[in-house]
Amino acid sequence: MKLALHGATGRMGLAITRLAHAAEDLTVVGAVCSSVDPGQGKDIGELAGVGPIGVVATADLGSGLLGADCVIDFSVASAVPGLLAVAARQKMAVVSGTTNLDAAGKQALEKAADSVPVLWAANMSLGIQVLAEVVAHALRRLGASYDAEIVEIHHRKKVDAPSGTARRLADAVRSVRPDVQELHGRDGEVGMRSDRDLGVFGIRGGDVVGDHTVYLLGPGERLELTHRATSRELLAHGAIAAARFVNKRKPRLYTMADVLG
Ligand SMILES: NC(=O)c1ccc[n+]([C@@H]2O[C@H](COP(=O)([O-])OP(=O)(O)OC[C@H]3O[C@@H](n4cnc5c(N)ncnc54)[C@H](OP(=O)(O)O)[C@@H]3O)[C@@H](O)[C@H]2O)c1
């Protein structure tokens, strides 16, 4: 499979470049970066530390994606609609892990999925997908007297909060309790917790790759369902698994649940 990377010089883009370079069935044919990226014009293999691979990072989407079967995107939310439009035009599969998409970004995913296969996931780990399923199952079994709250921890360089994965886990809670209302902080005389509250809180610091805990707090006991990502490679592996899955599929919007089968 021929891969292009969007957000190629970022942390995830470089991690995926390293894994794709080592995989026999994958060839990196394109690398798209931002227009102000100092890596522009440099070989993406060299930037990723695997030596030159003959693919230069470019800010030009059209030429950067040319010839790819699939583009893997880990960039910024504002860049996603433009990427999707070009990928749909050039008829390639899309895997996107970019978080914090707004309504226009989500709409762009759906529109592109009318003509090419698209997989978007806030977290590319199979473990998070299973955690979301476990959370929904536990809430159904425990019933309404158990409160749900979510805490996530990420490295100090993360720019958005709460994490896309925390939002994904909040969606899992919402699938069982459609009336819950997310709140992202408590400060001052906020009064008693309402049954509809769903606290989703972020902690930032150090080099934490990503920890997520869903607390289910009941009378006399609590469950703490935790996922810890110990390396960025986990997420890069997941993105490549998603690309292998989505390549040559029917146009549709897929999720990591589809990859799990
Ligand atoms: N789904 C998952 O499993 C998962 C895992 C990790 C991260 N993420 C998400 O993926 C995204 C990227 O994460 P990261 O840690 O790799 O961040 P990062 O290191 O900041 O990488 C993002 C890259 O995208 C580039 N970019 C900005 N505008 C662009 C444009 N118009 N076209 C192409 N590239 C552009 C940035 O360039 P500049 O620096 O020049 O702006 C940067 O190199 C974030 O939304 C993050 O939350 C998701």
Ligand 1 within 6 A of 213 CB?
A: no
Question: Does the beta carbon of 165 lie inside 6 Å of ligand 1?
Answer: no
- pLDDT for position 175: 97
158 is catalytic: yes
CA of 57 to the centre of ligand 1 (A): 14
| Per-domain boundaries in the chain | 2-120+232-260, 126-229
Q: What is the pLDDT of residue 159?
A: 87
Q: What is the pLDDT of residues 229-254, one digit of tens each?
A: 998 889 999 999 999 999 999 999 99
CATH domain 2-120+232-260 topology: Rossmann fold (3.40.50)
Q: So what's the pLDDT on residue 160? A: 87
Residues of the chain with pLDDT under 70: none
Q: Does the CB atom of residue 58 touch ligand 1 within 6 A?
A: no
Atom number in ligand 1 closest to CA 32? 33
Catalytic hit among 6, 154, 212, 227: 154
Packed helices 80-89 and 103-112: angle between N→C axes, nearest 10 degrees: 10
CB 239 within 8 A of CB 70: no
- On whether the 126-229 domain is CATH 3.20.20.70, my answer is no
- Partnered with residue 120 across adjacent β-strands are 96
DSSP 59: S
**HEC secondary structure over 135-195:** HHHHHHHHCCCCEEEEEEEECCCCCCCCCHHHHHHHHHHHHHCCCCEEECCCCCCCCCCCC
Tell me if 2-120+232-260 shares its fold with 126-229: no
Name the token pair of 254: 């897929």
* Minimum CA distance residue for ligand 1 atom 29: 34
What is the pTM for the complete model shown?
A: 0.88
To 10 degrees, the CA torsion angle through 83, 85, 86, 92?
90
Interval 104-124: pLDDT, tens: 999 999 999 999 999 999 889
